[in-house]
């Protein structure tokens, strides 16, 4: 089941790397610009398109879900490490921009959570039904 997701993930990753390299050349940067993000967007779009047009079997959907779950944390961690090293070598402006973006995102999340209360969660039913014990105890 997992092998079905590998081909789709590989195609999206290759296309994302190629598009990210081309974007880097267009911007005059000697590196890949957004290739991982482009690959993830392509993977999401391909999965939705295949699901809509009946090309997504249950096994393929499980495989794409598995590899998507494995792919995102690993690649994000790799990209974050690379960005931190580059930012520290780039000077204080890059570090201040990173800290500022984290603070702005945190404030936005706090604002959204305070203004949008949402619907309460329904009560959960127990997974195992407990039968009354004979004898009244």
The candidate with the shortest Cα–Cα distance to 36, out of 5, 6, 76, 65, is: 76
| pTM summary value | 0.52
The candidate with the shortest Cα–Cα distance to 47, out of 32, 26, 63, is: 63
Q: How far apart are CA 101 and CA 120, in angstroms?
A: 31
34 located within any domain: yes
Q: How far apart are CA 94 and CA 35, in angstroms?
A: 21
30 located within any domain: yes
Which tens digit of pLDDT belongs to each residue from 102-132?
999 899 988 888 876 666 666 666 556 555 5
From residue 60, give the alpha-carbon distance in Å to each of 32, 127, 136: 29, 29, 52
Q: Which two tokens stand for residue 16?
A: 């994302």
Domain that holds residue 53: 2-88
103 located within any domain: no
């Amino acid at each position: 089941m997992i092998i079905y997701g590998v081909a789709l993930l590989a195609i999206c990753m290759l296309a994302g790397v190629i598009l990210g390299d081309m974007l880097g050349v267009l911007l005059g940067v000697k590196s890949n610009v957004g290739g991982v993000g482009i690959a993830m967007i392509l993977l999401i779009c391909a999965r939705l398109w295949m699901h809509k047009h009946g090309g997504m079997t249950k096994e393929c959907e499980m495989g794409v879900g598995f590899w998507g779950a494995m792919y995102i944390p690993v690649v994000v961690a790799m990209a974050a490490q690379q960005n931190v090293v580059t930012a520290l070598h780039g000077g204080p402006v890059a570090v201040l921009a990173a800290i500022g973006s984290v603070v702005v995102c945190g404030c936005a999340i706090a604002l959204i959570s305070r203004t949008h209360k949402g619907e309460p969660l329904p009560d959960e039913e127990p997974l195992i039904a407990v039968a009354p014990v004979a004898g009244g105890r």
